[in-house]
Amino acid sequence: MATVSWRLFSFLCCLLVMIISQTSAQPNHWCFNDKGNYTANSTYQTNLNTLLANLTANTEIDYGFYNFSYGQNTDKVNAIGLCRGDVKPDACRSCLNDSRGNLTQICPNQKEAIVWFDMCMLRYSNRSIFGIMETLPAIYMWNINNATDVDQFKQVLFNLMRNLKGAAALGDSRGKYATDNVTGPNFQSIYGLVQCTPDLSWQGCNDCLDGAISQIPSCCNNRRGGRVVGPSCNIRYESYRFYDPTSRLDPSIPPPTLTPLPLPSSQGNFHVGNTSQTAIVIAVPVVAVVVLVLCFICIYLRAKKPRKYFETEVDDDEIITNESLQFNFDTIRVATDDFSDANKLGQGGFGAVYRGRLSNGQVIAVKRLSRDSGQGDTEFKNEVLLLAKLQHRNLVRLLGFCLEGRERLLIYEFVPNKSLDYFIFDPTKKAQLDWERRYKIIGGIARGLLYLHQDSQLRIIHRDLKASNILLDGEMNSKISDFGLARLFVVDQTGGNTNTIVGTYGYMAPEYAMHGQFSVKSDVFSFGVLVLEIVSGQKNSSIHHGESVEDLLSFAWRNWREGTATNIVDPTLNNSSRNEMMRCIHIGLLCVQENLANRPTMAAVTLMLNSYSQTLQVPSEPAFYMDSRTGSLPHVQSWEYNSRATISTESANESAQESVNEASITEPYPR
C-alpha cells in the first residue's frame, strides 16, 4: 500500500486513531460491515465457532502463529492468530482464547473481523487471507511524552527500525520478528520491535514494515513511543523495554509437523493456512489407514531410489503434459512474423532470440534453440523445469514453451531495457545508471538469489550469474535470467560436484573452476564480482593503467588494502552516496574471498544491504582468476564464447578481454 494511501486512510478513518498509553491491555477491533454478514445458527457461524474453538488446540505449535481454515465453498472460514514474538506459548494460547470470545461478541454477525490485544492478534474472514500482505485497517497509538533533541531522536529511531525490518523479513515460516535497542539523545535508550505474520514472503514483510515505519511521522511525531498495528505487520518503539529480550526462536530447530485435529463438526475440512502444508481432518478411520499405507509405499519407493539432487533431464512427454504452459508453434511463428530478421533480438550459442506480439497484444521474447545443438535439448528442458516453478519479481518470468517436431521454443516476458552489461560497460550509456539505480539493481539481484537459494521450493544454484544475464525492465528493476546451467537440490543439500565445468570466466568461484565443486557460495562469489562491476563500471577482466591491464578483483583488493577504495568507484558517479558505495565494495570483497567458508550467505548479504549500522567483517584476499603469480588460468569449458571444446589459457585471456557475448542462453531483450 502506497504511503499516500496510508495517510489518506489515517485522516479519513480518525475513529481508528486512539490516544492511549502503551501499557493498556484494552482490545482494539474492526468489524468489516462491507464484507458480508451471517445469520444466527447458519453454517458459517457453526464453522466459525468450530474453527475458533480449535484454533490453539495443537500444542506442538510453540511459536505463536496459528493459521487454519474450516468449512467449504462460501461457508469456509479462514483465521489467523499471531502472538507477539516474546510471548510464551501458554500465555499466547490464553490471549487468543480470550480474543475469540471478545471478537465474536463485538462483531456478532460480520463474516470478517479483527481484534488486537497487547500480546496477540486474531482475525478471521470468508476470503483468503493467508500469505497476502494487507495494511488496512490500521491503528495508531503513542506515548503522551515528547522526545528531546527531536532531529537526532528521529535519525536514531529510523535507523533502528530499518535494521529491525531487514532482520524480521529474513525470518522463517515460524516467525518474522525482531527486537533491539539503541542509545538515543542524552544517552537515553530506544527500544524497538517489528513483526510480520510469518506466512508473508520476504518481500511482503519488507513492504508491510516499510509502510508502517513511514507512518511514524504521521501518527507519532516527536513522541517517545509509538505503535502502528495492521493485519499483516506491526511496529512499536518506546523509551523503556516492553518486550522479553530472552525469547528467541532457534533457527536450527524446524517447525513441528502439524497433525490433523479431531473437530466435532462435519461441515468441512480443517486446513493449515500455509502454502506449503495442509492438514486434512480424516473422519473415517478406513481412509486414514489407506493414507498411511500409501505413505509407507512412497517412503519405501524413495528409499529404493535415493537422489542427491533432482535431475533436470526429463522426457518430452513430461513437459507436454503441462498444457497450461504450452504454445502452438504456428501461434509463435505468426507472432514473430515467421522469425523474421527484423524481429531478431540477438544470437546465442544455442539459438536466436526474437521479439513477438501475440494476438492479444502481449509482447513476448522467444528463444528458438538451434536444431543442430545437442546441448540445446538438455538446456531447454532444464530451463523449462526451473522457470515453470519460479515466481519472483527479480527473476525473468517464463510464459510458456513449444515442442513440435524438432522445434524447441521458450516464451518469456519481454524485458525492454536489455541487460546490465549493455549499460554498465558502455562509456556513454552507463551515465543512465546513477547510484540510486545501481543500488536498486544490486538489491534486486540479491533478493532474486536469496529466493533461489532459500525461499523457493527447491534450493537452486544458478552457476552462470553475470552482467549479461541480469535483465532490466522498464523501471530498471533487475531480473535474473538464463537458468540453462542451473542445478536443483533438495532443501537440505548444500552443494555438489561435476566433471563438466560450464560458465563464464571472471565470475566463476575458484573451487568450481578448478575442482568442479559448486554450492550456493559459488553464486555468492559471482554476485560479489557483479557488485564490484556495478560500482566500478568496469569489466572484471580489464582495468587499464596506461599500458598495463589489471583484473577487477586484484584492482579492488589492492585499493582497498591501500586505503584508496574511492579509486574503485565509477568516476561518472557523484559523491552524494559515497558511504553506501564503500559499503557495497566491502560487501563485494566479502563475497569473493577465496575460502568459500568465509563468504556470507545471500541472507546475510541482504541484511548487510538493508542494515547500515551492522558491522561488517574484514575481508581476506580474494581469489584471482588472472593469477599474476602463476600467469595461468585453469582449463575449463566455456559456453560464453560458443565453444564446446576446452579452451587454452591464451584464447581464454583473449576472449575475456574482448568480452564477446555470443552465447548467452536467455536474452529476451532488443539489441
Three-state secondary structure call for residue 336:
coil
Grid cell at residue 185: 539523545
Selected catalytic residue, list 207, 464, 482, 570: 464
Burial class (CB in 10 A: 0-12, 13-18, 19+), 124: buried
368 neighbors 349 (Cβ within 8 angstroms): no
The dihedrals phi and psi of 176, each to the nearest 5 degrees, come to: -120, 90
The dihedrals phi and psi of 355, each to the nearest 5 degrees, come to: -90, 140
Please state whether beta strands 478-480 and 517-519 pair in parallel, antiparallel, or not at all (unpaired): unpaired
How many CB atoms are closer than 10 A to CB 616?
Answer: 14
Say which amino acid occupies 40. A
Distance CA 376, CA 371 (A): 8
Q: Is 108 left (phi over 0), alpha (psi -120 to 50) or beta?
A: alpha
> Please, which residues have CB within 8 angstroms of residue 397's CB and are 6 or more apart in sequence?
387, 391, 412, 413, 479
* 464 given a catalytic annotation: yes
Grid cell at residue 351: 539459438
Residues in the chain: 671
Preceding omega of 262 cis (within 30 degrees of 0)? no
Cα–Cα–Cα angle for 215, 218, 223, rounded to 5 degrees = 100
SS (H, E, C) 224-263: CCEEEECCCEEEEEECCCCCCCCCCCCCCCCCCCCCCCCC
Please state whether beta strands 28-31 and 77-83 pair in parallel, antiparallel, or not at all (unpaired): unpaired
Question: Annotated active-site positions, please?
Answer: 464
